[in-house]
Chains A and B, each alone.
Chain A
Amino acid sequence: MAHHGLTVPLIVISVFWGFLSFFVSWFIPKSLSRVVIITILVTCSICCCLFWLIAILSHLNPLFGPQLKNETSWYLKHHFLEEEDMLYGTSR
């Protein structure tokens, strides 16, 4: 249950799609379909990046939490507690 932030994923994803669209575009060989391939790369990067961004922004500040069945809560409480004991030696 590591603490997640927004910055690290944001940087990683942006670098990945940015690399794909800008950097790779320069290296497409000069053929008849060069323009179309670059269009494809740029459109793909924009669509995928935007979709990921919407997903992460939507649960950045959740207004309510999940409603779990008691069996599920019991399992998660004990299962993850044990795992954390193994990982960090402490319990939260």
Chain B
Amino acid sequence: MGSMFRSEEVALVQLFLPTAAAYTCVSQLGELGLVEFRDLNASVSAFQRRFVVDVRRCEELEKTFTFLQEEVRRAGLVLPRPEGRLPAPPPRDLLRIQEETERLAQELRDVRGNQQSLRVQLHQLQLHAAVLGQGHGPQLATAHTYGASERTPLLQAPGGPHQDLRVNFVAGAVEPHKAPALERLLWRACRGFLIASFSELERPLEHPVTGEPATWMTFLISYWGEQIGQKIRKITDCFHCHVFPFLEQEEARRAALQQLQQQSQEMQEVLGETERFLSQVLGRVQQLLPPAQVQVRKMKAVYLALNQCSVSTTHKCLIAEAWCATRDLPALQEALRDSSAEEGVSAVAHRIPSRDMPPTLIRTNRFTASFQGIVDSYGVGRYQEVNPAPYTIITFPFLFAVMFGDVGHGLLMFLFALAMVLAENRPAVKAAQNEIWQTFFGGRYLLLLMGLFSVYTGFIYNECFSRASSIFPSGWSVAAMANQSGWSDAFLAQHTMLTLDPNVTGVFLGPYPFGIDPIWSLAANHLSFLNSFKMKMSVILGVVHMAFGVVLGVFNHMHFGQRHRLLLETLPELTFLLGLFGYLVFLVIYKWLHVSAASAASAPSILIHFINMFLFSHSPTNRPLYPQQEVVQAMLVVLALAMVPVLLLGTPLHLLCRHRRRRRRPTGRKQEDKAGLLGLPDASVNGWGSDEEKAGGLEDEQEAELVPSEVFMHQAIHTIEFCLGCISNTASYLRLWALSLAHAQLSEVLWAMVMRIGLGLGREVGVAAVVLVPIFAAFAVMTVAILLVMEGLSAFLHALRLHWVEFQNKFYSGTGYKLSPFTFAATDD
């Protein structure tokens, strides 16, 4: 990881890839992940590019892969992860992979089809056997009344002419939820002329297609009359019942049943064989599929990259244009040399000048990646502009901690982040899919620093779960006040609230050495003191942060060769900011140092002084802080206001003058520019003098593009944004005060309402111990949920906003794009 100060140098390279070696070269580049290809065929549609056939073949193969994957998943198996290094295979291997895959897919389809039909047949056999085997006693008995049988008829056949009609049977099986409907319909349609008996099978049978077990109902209908028979058959057809031939003789039925059972046993054996073969095929699929998937994905990526190259006129090689970091150029050339040497040809790469803005590349390691990430979320920096990330590593957690300051909460956050950092290499942790966990895990270094700084600011605010601690002895002495003001015990009993007066000798013994004095946490008016402290702190931190932002802009101006902006923009900006708000900071610090309790009654109000400064008025009751204060203030305001026209008109006028000067001597300048361009393009490739956001551009084009109204308009917007922004941004930093106050108050309320009640319950040892357990549980849950998660997210958001808006709009444009190299790493599982 190099210095993160600004983006690395990125150059445009032209690659000449001989057709024989193009595939291997690009595949090698994909393994290395060095370059980003530019699409030279942007005007050509996807269907007309050169390698569209190969891409299509890869896509068809991927479709087959999806089918195989689905089959494996249906069988309940898992595909193993591919092992080892799998480079993209050469084009001739694609045929082999295709053949094998097709064969496997066909086999799988056949086997599945066979299995399906076998199961359907088995199901039929089983139903038949069940129907035959089911006893429908009374009905069968009636059948025998017409034969020579000893059994007494249970049913009297209706007398008369019907006696010589034969009874016929219809036997079958119906799904259980349809049985009542069937019964009802049979009764209504053929009433009186049939006897239907339904009975349920004891064990459920598996449905052949879905595999669900279903308990079928078998029925035996005895009827007489041909028309009735037809009606019955139509009805059973409607209900999709399975109807089987029912033989009257019991022996015949028994024989049929035996035969069926034999058949179904054979069928089950065949089915078993089929399933064994299926699992064999699936085993082969498991072996073949994962590496093949990776290889085909890589191959498709290579072809898509090759589609972006243009074909040279002699059709002997492909020309590709790619962005590559200057530092990686030797590695690039070596890779090309090696992979093309195998084919006996040579691929070359050389640098070409470019008119477009190169992409931004900032190398990060896992620690700095999260901080660069939050800067990039706002906008990726323009090529080679100053990167705010290295400072954000500290200022972001610091501003978070100013809003979150509490030793206890900070310690909890720090320990949580530490646990994640120490366990970061465990595979179980890396493989977790939960999105919220992934978010927290990705920001573990961020949380670590945030927790650490929160502990520090917690010590300064003297708050640990809202309790103050006296590490050093307090600087206020009640005893001295009591002795000198006659605070006897009786006096104390009469007055509920008494204030310590720092004017009395011995009461205030000096500032607490590290942070806020612990006596303030016992005081009723602690918010009066803390609010004043935190508001002034917010303004001081804000002005320092913003001034730092303006100073960073200096580096941008110097790097892009726009030195005039140093004098015409940075200096007026700094004067305006520091003259007005820097002076406010000076007033705050001066009052802290020079106004003491002795003159507390007539202490000057900074707010009123500041207001009068702008209105050029005077308040007689507000005494000045130092002699000649009004003169100094008037001078500062006039100076700051004088900077506004400099900011507004300075740069545009300078650019116009330079533009006119250049027009007067065209030839000399042009030679100079061209020489400067063909040399190592460093800063010269980027903007020369234009304030517009588009960086990069040749001098000749710049001359034509300089439109005065645009330049003036842009500068006017910038001036208004800066001057009004100074005021609003300084006020915006007051959120540091607001959020830290909210956090402190929430924490104190939680303590007072939950823990203090629990700790004050009962003097008996047993009662307090038992009751404290649920009370502490409630306290812990609410601390984590409200104070850590909710307040943490809130402070995170506001610290982020302060960085993105108040800090970065002083120098950062964020209008670039990232270098996204052509790499297989994203496709590797």
Contact = CB atoms under 8 A, between A and B. Distances in A.
B450 to A, nearest CB: 13
Contact of B592 (A61, A70, A92): A61
A24 interface: no
A32 B4 CA distance: 10
A27 to B, nearest CB: 19
Interface in A33-49: 33, 35-36, 39-40, 43-44, 47-48
Contact of B510 (A5, A74, A77): A5
B478 A67 contact: no
A2 B511 CA distance: 11
6 contacts: A50-B541, A51-B457, A59-B533, A61-B592, A64-B600, A92-B477
Contacts of A62: 502, 508, 529, 597
A72 B520 CA distance: 12
Interface string B599-635: 0100100000000000000000000000000000000
B377 interface: no
Contacts of B419: none
A44 B394 contact: yes
Contacts of B163: none
B476 A47 contact: no
B1 interface: yes
A1 B515 CA distance: 16
Interface in B677-729: none
Nearest to A42: B394
A1 B592 contact: no
Contacts of B456: 48, 51
Contact of B495 (A1, A36, A64, A70): A70
Nearest to A47: B398
Contacts of A43: 391, 393-395
A86 interface: no
B524 A67 contact: yes
Contact of B511 (A35, A60, A65): A60
B402 interface: yes
B523 to A, nearest CB: 3
Interface in A1-25: 1-6, 8-9
A63 B594 CA distance: 11
Nearest to B501: A65
B517 interface: yes
B261 interface: no
B589 A57 contact: yes
A58 B520 contact: no
Chain A, interface residues (CB within 8 Å), range: 35 or more
Interface string B1-22: 1111100000000000000000
Contact of B509 (A4, A9, A47, A48): A4
Interface in B504-555: 506-517, 519-520, 522-526, 528-529, 532-533, 536-537, 540-541, 544
Contacts of B506: 92
B390 interface: yes
Contacts of A68: 478, 497-500, 519, 522-524
A92 B502 CA distance: 16
A77 B498 contact: no
Given A6-B511, A35-B5, A59-B516, A77 B478 contact: yes
Contacts of B390: 35-36, 39-40
A73 B517 contact: no
Contacts of B502: 62-65
B513 A9 contact: yes
B460 interface: yes
A66 interface: yes
A52 B512 CA distance: 11
Interface residues of B, number: 77
B353 interface: no
Contacts of B477: 1, 80, 92
A28 interface: no
A54 B506 CA distance: 24
A65 B513 contact: no
Give the one of B368, B475, B479, B509 with max A CB within 10 A: B479
B520 A66 contact: yes
B589 A72 contact: no
A18 B1 CA distance: 27
A69 interface: yes
A68 B85 CA distance: 73
Give the one of A8, A44, A64, A81 with max B CB within 10 A: A64
A59 B517 contact: yes
B493 interface: yes
Given A1-B473, A63-B596, 14 more contacts: A39-B393, A50-B541, A54-B536, A55-B537, A58-B592, A63-B600, A64-B525, A66-B525, A68-B519, A70-B492, A70-B497, A76-B479, A77-B479, A80-B477
Nearest to B540: A54
A73 B533 contact: no
Contacts of A66: 476, 499-500, 519-520, 522-526, 529
A33 B523 CA distance: 48
Give the one of A5, A70, A74 with max B CB within 10 A: A70
Nearest to A84: B479
Given A3-B509, A6-B511, A65 B500 contact: yes
Contact of A67 (B492, B515, B523): B523
B502 to A, nearest CB: 5
A44 to B, nearest CB: 5
Contacts of B493: 70
A76 to B, nearest CB: 4
Nearest to A71: B492
Interface string B382-407: 00000000110111001000100000
B741 interface: no
Contacts of B592: 57-58, 60-61
B514 A67 contact: no
A4 to B, nearest CB: 3
A8 B512 CA distance: 11
Contacts of B474: 1
B1 A33 contact: yes
B460 A55 contact: yes
Contacts of A6: 510-511
B365 A33 contact: yes
B498 A67 contact: yes
Contacts of A72: 522
Contacts of A2: 473, 509
Nearest to B528: A64
Contact of A92 (B480, B522, B593, B600): B480
A10 B528 CA distance: 26
A52 B459 CA distance: 10
B597 A92 contact: no
Contacts of A67: 497-500, 523-525
A4 B475 CA distance: 7
Interface in B721-750: none
Contacts of A3: 509-510
Given A69-B524, A80-B479, A47 B395 contact: yes
B489 interface: yes
Contact of B489 (A48, A63, A74): A74
A44 B368 CA distance: 15
A60 B597 CA distance: 10
Contact of A59 (B394, B395, B511, B595): B511
Contacts of B593: 57, 60-61
Return the 3 tightest CB-CB contacts between A and B, nearest first.
A4-B510, A66-B523, A65-B500
A3 B480 CA distance: 13
Nearest to A80: B479
A36 B524 CA distance: 46
B827 interface: no
A39 B144 CA distance: 106
A60 to B, nearest CB: 5
A35 B387 CA distance: 14
A8 B603 CA distance: 28
Contacts of A73: 478, 482, 487, 492, 498
